[in-house]
């Protein structure tokens, strides 16, 4: 994220950009295999197919969701393969977020993600290879959404002002995208369990987050907007812990928006006291 001038946005502080923990999923060769015996051409259950799979549509004509999938399938046949891959990525990300929020990460399966997104049960497995691959993809995707929000917020700031802008942006993102934040942090806290691949992804995200906060503080010291005697590492650690604590409190005990904003205001006051020049 562009936290201070010259920072590489792909390596910045986000809910978790896992670029170097697991490789980006490979593209799928796009094929569309028509089934036989139906007046509607639909995809067979081939995991490499990008179009939603629908069967025996005459029996399901009253189902609004199925009708929408059929219309999408018809419309999407004119898309390029990269466009179809992007569309299926977006749908599977939304499906994974919804399932994680409903049943937790442990009970969310690749098969269910594919079906919930309107595709064949094998597409998510074909695309991501494993749940760890799906989690890395989801963390990266939510992180990229947050990256755009944060970049807009901190542009032209340094030191304490950057911290304040980042806290405000985090508050907005949490309130505007609660399911995505919830899914991300469910994965974050799941990383304390026995899954080493997920732990690696989250550990990398946490380390990058702290490095970037340290860069904010050093930038403030250089600009004269933060005290020169600040313990950069200690303040960054406390900041990151406070952000995680706010989200954890929000996850386990539903809060009104006013309460969430008050917690973020309190963090800004704490950082001002610790960094103020």
CA terminus-to-terminus distance, the chain: 25
For residue 81, name the pLDDT band (cuts at 50, 70, 90). Answer: confident
For residue 84, name the pLDDT band (cuts at 50, 70, 90). Answer: confident
Which whole number is the average pLDDT over 182-202?
82
Domain boundaries, the chain: 9-22+133-275, 26-128
**Best CATH choice for the domain 9-22+133-275 from the list 2.40.10.10, 1.10.357.10, 3.30.70.2740, 2.40.280.10:** 1.10.357.10
Which whole number is the average pLDDT over 25-30?
34
Q: Is the pLDDT of residue 4 over 50?
A: no
pTM over 0.85: no
Residue 7 has a pLDDT of 37
Residue 40 has a pLDDT of 27
Which whole number is the average pLDDT over 112-116?
93
Which whole number is the average pLDDT over 15-31?
34
Q: Which residues pair with 226 in a beta bridge?
A: 276
């Amino acid at each position: 994220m562009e936290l201070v001038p010259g920072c590489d946005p792909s390596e910045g502080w986000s809910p978790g950009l896992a670029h170097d923990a697991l490789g980006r999923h490979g593209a799928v060769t796009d094929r569309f295999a028509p089934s036989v015996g139906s007046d509607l051409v639909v995809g067979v259950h081939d995991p490499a197919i990008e179009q939603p799979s629908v069967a025996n549509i005459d029996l399901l004509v009253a189902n609004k969701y199925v009708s929408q999938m059929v219309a999408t399938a018809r419309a999407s046949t004119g898309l390029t393969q990269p466009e179809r891959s992007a569309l299926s990525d977006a749908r599977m990300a939304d499906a994974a977020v919804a399932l994680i929020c409903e049943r937790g990460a442990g009970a969310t399966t690749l098969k269910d993600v594919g079906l919930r997104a309107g595709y064949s049960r094998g597409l998510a497995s074909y695309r991501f290879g494993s749940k760890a691959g799906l989690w890395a993809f989801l963390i990266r995707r939510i992180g990229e959404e947050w990256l755009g929000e944060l970049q807009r917020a901190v542009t032209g700031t340094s030191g304490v002002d950057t911290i304040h802008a980042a806290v405000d942006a985090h508050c907005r993102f949490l309130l505007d995208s609660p399911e995505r934040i919830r899914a991300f942090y469910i994965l974050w806290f799941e990383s304390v369990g026995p899954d080493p691949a997920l732990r690696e992804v989250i550990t990398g995200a946490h380390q990058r987050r702290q490095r970037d906060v340290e860069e904010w503080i050093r930038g403030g010291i250089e600009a004269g907007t933060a005290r020169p005697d600040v313990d950069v590492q200690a303040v960054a650690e406390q900041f990151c812990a406070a952000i995680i604590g706010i989200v954890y409190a929000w996850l386990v005990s539903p809060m009104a928006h006013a309460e969430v904003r008050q917690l973020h205001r309190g963090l800004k006051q704490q950082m001002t006291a610790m960094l103020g020049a």
